[in-house]
Amino acid sequence: MSAYGLLSLVLFIWLITSYLQAPYIELWPPLNWMKGVTLFIMFWVCLLLVCTFSQPNPFSIGMGGKNFDPEKAGIVSITKHPGFVAFALWSGAHMIPNGDLASMIFFGLMCGLSLYGPKSLNDKRKSQLGAQKWSELNTQTRRKLPNIGLWRWLVTVILYMGLMHAHGPVIGALPYWW
């Protein structure tokens, strides 16, 4: 797993480097409203990421299933794979204001991988847990509104604000229009 993680990191850095060096070929002009849509989506991406790494989840990556309580399923009551959903939303949201070919390739690839990930992980987890346990957990975690917890909302706001302020200096583009 460590070798896979290291290889993934190296490939991701290579992709980012290639993306940043790619020529700008405009497909559509960036408009201010597009940044607003992306900012809205990114708040929910931050919430999904905070939940991914702070809530037990027997279905997905993150903390794993240790100490998972189906009665307090949290974000798992909405999606088994909040990390994959977060990356799919992140990449899709960034395709909107970045109307150039390199962005479509980079973010499209990330979105495609994020959408494929849950199927792959479901197959793996289902075989590990067994069909009966998988079915039980699947049924037990279906709820209407998840209890996220106040502290996760606060961490989400801090992460969101931090990413928004760091985006300009780190990425080179301001994520807002005001």
Q: What is the pTM of this model?
A: 0.86
Question: Is 20 within the bounds of a domain?
Answer: no
pLDDT range class, residue 111, cuts 50, 70, 90: very high
DSSP, residue by residue, 86-131: HHHHHHHHHHTT--BHHHHHHHHHHHHHHHHHHHHHHHHHHHHH-H
Question: Is 40 within the bounds of a domain?
Answer: yes
Number of structural domains (the chain) is 1
- pLDDT of 143 > 80? The answer is no
Question: Is 12 within the bounds of a domain?
Answer: no
Question: Is 84 within the bounds of a domain?
Answer: yes
Q: Which residues constitute the domain of residue 44? A: 30-171
Question: Is 82 within the bounds of a domain?
Answer: yes
Question: Is 25 within the bounds of a domain?
Answer: no
Give per-residue pLDDT as tens, 55-83: 888 887 655 777 888 778 888 888 889 99
